Amino acid sequence: MSRQLTAATEEAALEQLHNSGCTDGLPVVIPTPARVERMVLASGLDSDVSLGQLGPNLGEATVEKAAIAAVMAGCLPDYFPVVVAAVRAVSDPRLDMTEVQATTHNLGPLLIVNGPAVSACGIASGFGALGPGHRANASIGRAVRLAMINIGGGRPGTSDMALLGHPGKFTFCLGEDEEASPWPPLHTALGYDIDQSTVTVACTEGPHSVLCFPDDDPEVYADHLINVLAASLSGLGANNTHFGRGSQVLVLNPDHAVALADVGYDRATIAEALHERAKRSWSELSTVRSRGSGINRHQRSQGDNPDLVVQALSSPEALLILVAGGTGLYSTVMPSWGAGPHGNSHLTVEIDLDQTCEVPLVMPAR
Amino acid sequence: MALVTTKFSPQGDFVARSAGMPDIPRVILPHPVAGTGEKAMKMVADDIADEVLQALGAG
């Protein structure tokens, strides 16, 4: 059971939460016992069920504590099963949240939702899906961040050591536009059935825009697109290029996805092509880094070999590809950190939409 | 024992408390160490070697 605070008014309670470092700097919904209880009911789980330990504080992420974060973030109870799955993911040791929160690199967990939960919760996947104006995206992602602050203890300058951070550390959640995609949804490529709902979490930098104009020749268009995506996934300033590991995310806008599908690409063959082409020669890399930073696994094994070519993706599976956003000229890549005990890889957790208890519209006042 | 750079000293304290080892010996290094090159790192190592041995109980 969480410790209860008291305040004379909601305004006073808000100031108390701000002053104690429990917010993200923006106003929150005050997590009264009645509101939290209502949120817990939406999970169908007991309030003391543990979803894992969240670092670096190694706090116990109970359903109740996740519900407190969801209330504070402004979630509807319908969104809570997604929050529960996402908190399970960020508490999973394989995501290295202790290290992710503590690093000086500017990364944060991106939540990609697939399956029936996208429409059930109204999670945006089209124009501006990562921007403002979408309540489900905004509040689900914010709930996870508030959990990382209040359960995981991530506070800037003392336990969250990101040198600058990025705006996605307030909230960073979208759905895949499965209807606009020419391919089966992302989660089916990760081993789930099409009627399951999932949240896939990859800790990444913010979105980087990738421009590619259409071409009259479909083969040329597709080839240019693969080339510019490969170059963007192997930026000379990106950790992945220097370390040769870490999951990266590619968000194809529907036009770009169709352009690739029209010449026969699917998700797997795009990943294979980008794994092959997202690379830099040793001579390019040697112009931008000091000898003291020689930490790429290729370099460790081969030394200063001028013929060395370094791949930014350790495997095709290190690239998550989804279709989202409006139609147009821009797709998006999200490079990552590439460090941590598990190499900054991604993780998918199923969302349990079927366990929700009936949530009364109004709970008795407390 | 833990080696912590000056800028990470508060974070080291936080993690030590979280891990239930608030009194774990810590030796403070200048910041940054990473990427400063082998020569600079050797100088840091020379400077702190006695302190590390002492923290390990061998000094």
Question: B18 vs A56: CB contact, 8 Å cut-off?
Answer: yes
Six-digit token string for A163: 């040198």
Rg (CA), chain A: 21
Residues A31 and A69: their CA atoms lie apart, in Å, by 8
Instruction: Supply the pLDDT for residue A231.
Output: 98
pLDDT in tens, A146-187: 999 999 999 999 999 999 999 999 999 999 999 999 999 999
Which of B34, B36, B25, B30 shows the shortest CA–CA distance to B5? B30
Size of interface A-B (CB pairs under 8 A): 32
CB A77 within 8 A of CB A42: yes
Which of A56, A198, A187 shows the shortest CA–CA distance to A121? A198
Q: Give yes or no for residue A363 having a pLDDT over 90.
A: no
Domain extents in chain A: 7-179+197-204+348-359, 206-335
pLDDT in tens, A71-115: 999 999 999 999 999 999 999 999 999 999 999 999 999 999 999
On whether any CB of chain B is under 8 Å from the CB of A119, the answer is: no
* Confidence band, pLDDT 50/70/90 cuts, at residue A7: very high
pLDDT in tens, A213-262: 999 999 999 999 999 999 999 999 999 998 889 999 999 999 999 999 99
Mark A281-309 as b/e (b = at least 16 C-beta within 10 Å).
Answer: ebeebbeebeeeeebbebbeeeeeeeebe
Instruction: Supply the pLDDT for residue B33.
Output: 87
Residues A323 and A332: their CA atoms lie apart, in Å, by 10
Residues A327 and A252: their CA atoms lie apart, in Å, by 9
pLDDT in tens, A312-356: 999 999 999 999 999 999 999 999 999 999 999 999 999 999 876
Instruction: Supply the pLDDT for residue A92.
Output: 98
By C-alpha distance, the chain A residue nearest B17 is A57
CB A186 within 8 A of CB A321: yes
Mutation target for B interface from A103, A105, A155, A159: give the one with most B CBs within 10 A.
A159
pLDDT in tens, B3-21: 999 989 988 999 899 889 9
On whether any CB of chain A is under 8 Å from the CB of B22, the answer is: no
Residue A159 with chain B: CB contacts under 8 Å? 11, 14-15
Instruction: Supply the pLDDT for residue A173.
Output: 98
On whether any CB of chain B is under 8 Å from the CB of A157, the answer is: yes
pLDDT in tens, A40-51: 999 999 999 999
CB A86 within 8 A of CB A151: no
On whether any CB of chain A is under 8 Å from the CB of B49, the answer is: no
**Which amino acid type is present at position A2?**
S
- Alpha carbon distances (Å) from A166 to A169, A263, A308, A328, A337: 6, 36, 33, 25, 13
* Confidence band, pLDDT 50/70/90 cuts, at residue A299: low
CB A149 within 8 A of CB A156: no
On whether any CB of chain B is under 8 Å from the CB of A163, the answer is: no
The DSSP output letter for A356 is P
Backbone angles phi, psi at A310, to 5 degrees: -105, 125
Residue showing tokens 């020669």: A281
Instruction: Supply the pLDDT for residue A90.
Output: 98
On whether any CB of chain A is under 8 Å from the CB of B43, the answer is: no
Question: B15 vs A292: CB contact, 8 Å cut-off?
Answer: no
CB A100 within 8 A of CB A92: no
Domain extents in chain B: 2-55
User: Helix, strand or coil for residue A179?
Assistant: coil
Rg (CA), chain B: 12
By C-alpha distance, the chain B residue nearest A156 is B11
pLDDT in tens, A17-32: 999 999 999 999 999 9
Residue showing tokens 């359960």: A151
Which of A267, A268, A250, A246 shows the shortest CA–CA distance to A314? A246
* Confidence band, pLDDT 50/70/90 cuts, at residue B37: confident
Mean pLDDT value across residues B10-36: 89
Mean pLDDT value across residues B15-31: 91
Backbone angles phi, psi at A248, to 5 degrees: -120, 160
The three-point CA angle A7-A33-A83 to 5° equals 120
Mean pLDDT value across residues A275-294: 81
Question: A293 vs B38: CB contact, 8 Å cut-off?
Answer: no
By C-alpha distance, the chain B residue nearest A290 is B35
On whether any CB of chain B is under 8 Å from the CB of A290, the answer is: yes
SS3 percent helix, strand, coil of chain A, rounded to 5, is 40, 15, 45
The DSSP output letter for A78 is G
Which of A233, A224, A315, A335 shows the shortest CA–CA distance to A278? A233
Mean pLDDT value across residues A120-135: 98
Burial of B59 from C-beta contacts in 10 A (0-12 / 13-18 / 19+) = exposed
